[in-house]
Structure 1
C-alpha cells in the first residue's frame, strides 16, 4: 500500500507538470496521482495493455492514469 502511495504521489506530480495549466496545486495533484494509479491499472487492464513490471512500468501507468484523472477533473473545473 505504501508503494502505491509513493508511486501515485510521484505520478501525480509528474502529471501536474505534463498538464500545464490543468493542475490543482502540488497536494491535490499528488492525491489525484494516487487515484490515477488505480485508474491507470484499471484502464490498462480493460484495454489489455501491459507496460511491464517494476517501478518504471508502475510509474508510467500511474502517470497516464493521473493525466486522465486530471483531464476529467479539469473538465468539471471549468
Structure 2
C-alpha cells in the first residue's frame, strides 16, 4: 500500500510497520541499533529518517528523528 512503509523480518517472518514516513523508500540500512531510511523525496528535501530499535515485540522500532541538510543525491 502506498504511503505505508513496511519491513519484513525474514528470520522471524514478521511484518514491521514504520511510522513517520510517507513515500517510497529508496535506501535502507541498519546499524548501531538504529534503522536509517531515505525516501523518494530524499533527493528533493535532503531528509533521512531514523528509527531506534526497542525491546518490545509489538513495536520493534520507534521513530527517533530525521536528519536534514543534504541537497544532492549523494551522502558520504
Name the structure where strand makes up a greater proportion of residues: 2
Identify whether the pair has TM-score above 0.5, normalized to the shorter chain. Answer: no
Between the two structures, name the one with larger relative contact order (CA 8 Å, sep ≥ 6): 1
The structure carrying a bigger helix percent of its residues is 1
TM-score relative to the length of structure 2: 0.28
Query: TM-score of the superposition, structure 1-length normalised?
Result: 0.28
